[in-house]
Amino acid sequence: MPSLKELSTRPEQFLGGHRLCPGCGEGTIVRQVLMAADKPVVAASCTGCLEVSSSIFPYTAWNIPWVHLAFENAAATAAGLEAAHKSLKRQGRCEEDLHFVAFGGDGGTYDIGFQALSGAMERRHRFVYVCLNNEAYMNTGIQRSSATPLGAHTTTSPAGKVVPGKLTPRKDLTEIMVAHDVPYVGQSNSGRWRDLTGKAEKAFQTDGPAFLNVLSVCPLGWGTEPGKAIEICEAAADTCAWPLYEVVEGQYKITYRPKEKKPVEEYLKHQRRFAHLLKGEAGQAVIAQIQADVDARWEKLQNRAETK
């Protein structure tokens, strides 16, 4: 893995001056992922916060070849770019080795773009797919997605006297990608640069498709203070609400084990989308359900890591 000093000397491929919100994790994730590439990169990103904030005509934050595409086909476009490059190399019309990467939000990855993602993984296109996971459709009004956690308040799963936010747990897309039998799958967050860049480097070096699911703090949709993004990411890892791990050729490895696993409430309390759960018996019952789910998933992950 490149050192911080080495990373700091690499050319900037995602520039400042974009319009992402203060405290948003997406710009950090994109910048760190691209820094981990050791060859020229071609990127594709679907419609979402990243696209609308980084490419307001006539300006762009992208310092590399970049394709904007529809909400649902980031993976299909990246797969097409990779296939075209292979064809050009076979024809002797291109000699340069390139990396390909696709960026999509959770709405464009878990839901709308899942078919394209699944197909590209199954066809074994060599590219990296990065899910910028802020756990809702933030760009279009903070609607719930299948990445939205149990109990979270969104505009389409509003918390009130009858319904305590979203009624179902989030879909485990990381494990769904593992089930596709791809060579590399990693889960990280926007506040752990060493973990993220290390996994991105492995993903770019993978001979085949690679998938990164990166938790991205959204101050607007989560109701958090912009300056607390790193603290919130630390809490996500320390409570195991968002465990950090990777699966390389089917082998599980936990890349961060908290010295003392904290209760999930230490993560929830930073976010206004969960504020209603911190009041009254009904909210505490949902928190207990969230805690039980986190504990069960963490135990299952540890067992997988120990037995592989």
What's the mean pLDDT when you consider all of the chain? Answer: 95
Please check the confidence at residue 218 and state whether its pLDDT lies above 90: yes
Please check the confidence at residue 116 and state whether its pLDDT lies above 90: yes
pTM of the model: 0.96
Asked if 55 and 68 touch (Cβ cutoff 8 Å), the reply is yes
Q: Note the pLDDT of residue 11.
A: 84
Share of the chain above pLDDT 70, in %: 99
What CATH number does residue 77 fall under? 3.40.50.970
DSSP track, 29-56: HHHHHHHT-SS-EEEEEESSHHHHHH--
pLDDT digits (tens, 9 = 90+) for 254-306: 999 999 999 999 999 999 999 999 998 999 999 999 999 999 999 999 999 97
Q: Note the pLDDT of residue 3.
A: 74
What does the block give as tokens for 178? 């593992």
Please check the confidence at residue 252 and state whether its pLDDT lies above 70: yes
Please check the confidence at residue 308 and state whether its pLDDT lies above 70: no
pLDDT digits (tens, 9 = 90+) for 271-280: 999 999 999 8
Q: What average pLDDT does this structure show over 171-191?
A: 97
Residue 31 DSSP class = H
Q: Note the pLDDT of residue 307.
A: 60
**How many domains in the chain?**
1
pLDDT digits (tens, 9 = 90+) for 118-162: 999 999 999 999 999 999 999 999 999 999 999 999 999 999 989
Handedness of CA 277, 278, 282, 286 (dihedral sign): positive
Give the domain range for residue 95.
4-307
